[in-house]
């Protein structure tokens, strides 16, 4: 039996989060401080959606319908007095409908997308697995302490899509794919076009 639709706060950003990805954020708008407080109190997720058009700050941005639910795994007060959080991506969803609340927070009715198959990384993509490992070792931070799965096709594709300097539209297209191996082929093509391989 499929899960019922979920009502969830949405956080439009100029970034793309994948399941199992880590994302540090600085929170300063009142609507998002309230959202984070509620998420911490109830250990509940919120949705991160890439902005198709508009700005992160202020008014309402137009978002891509496919996003990723995020759960707060760490938080702190930053030196400039803002709230700093780190979230981990959990599940992909599609926004069916959304509305802006009185405080400006966007809330969506979302449908959970199927989990991707857990596919081993094929030998022909070993170089991408090694590149992923190298990038993670270099950036350190939250990824240094997190479990790494460079032997899994989905995990490698998602991490490289998040971390490589690719156009956000390509990252969003990679997120929307549901086949980990097809994502690796697409990612390799995108890297060649961007002269990253």
Q: Give yes or no for a contact between 23 and 85, defined as CB atoms under 8 angstroms apart.
A: no
Q: Same domain for 12 and 76?
A: yes
Q: Same domain for 12 and 63?
A: yes
For the chain, the domain total comes to: 2
In a domain, 92, yes or no: yes
Q: Same domain for 95 and 164?
A: no
Q: What is the pLDDT of residue 19?
A: 96
Instruction: Give the residue ranges of the chain where pLDDT is below 50.
Output: 1-2
* Per-residue model confidence as pLDDT tens digits over 85-133: 999 999 999 999 999 998 889 999 999 999 999 999 999 999 999 999 9
Q: What is the pLDDT of residue 197?
A: 61
Q: Same domain for 143 and 58?
A: no
Residue 162: give the domain boundaries.
123-193
Q: Give yes or no for a contact between 87 and 22, defined as CB atoms under 8 angstroms apart.
A: yes
In a domain, 181, yes or no: yes
Q: What is the pLDDT of residue 88?
A: 96
- The CATH number for 133's domain is 1.10.4060.10
């Amino acid at each position: 039996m499929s899960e019922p639709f979920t009502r969830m706060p949405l956080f439009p950003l100029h970034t793309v989060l994948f399941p199992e990805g880590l994302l540090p954020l600085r929170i300063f708008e009142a609507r998002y401080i309230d959202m984070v407080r509620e998420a911490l109190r109830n250990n509940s997720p919120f949705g991160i959606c890439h902005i198709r058009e508009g700005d992160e700050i202020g008014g309402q941005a137009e978002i891509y319908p496919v996003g990723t639910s995020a759960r707060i795994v760490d938080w702190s007060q930053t030196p400039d007095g803002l709230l700093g959080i780190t979230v981990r991506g959990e599940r992909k969803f599609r926004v069916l409908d959304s509305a802006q609340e009185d405080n400006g927070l966007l809330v969506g009715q979302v449908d959970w997308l199927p989990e991707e198959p857990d596919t081993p990384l094929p030998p022909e993509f070993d170089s991408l697995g090694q590149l992923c490992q190298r990038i993670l070792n270099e950036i350190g931070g939250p990824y240094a302490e997190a479990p790494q799965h460079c032997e899994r096709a989905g995990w490698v594709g998602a991490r490289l899509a998040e971390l490589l300097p690719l156009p956000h539209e390509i990252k969003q297209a990679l997120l929307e794919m549901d086949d980990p191996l097809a994502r690796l082929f697409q990612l390799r093509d995108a890297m060649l076009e961007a002269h990253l391989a």
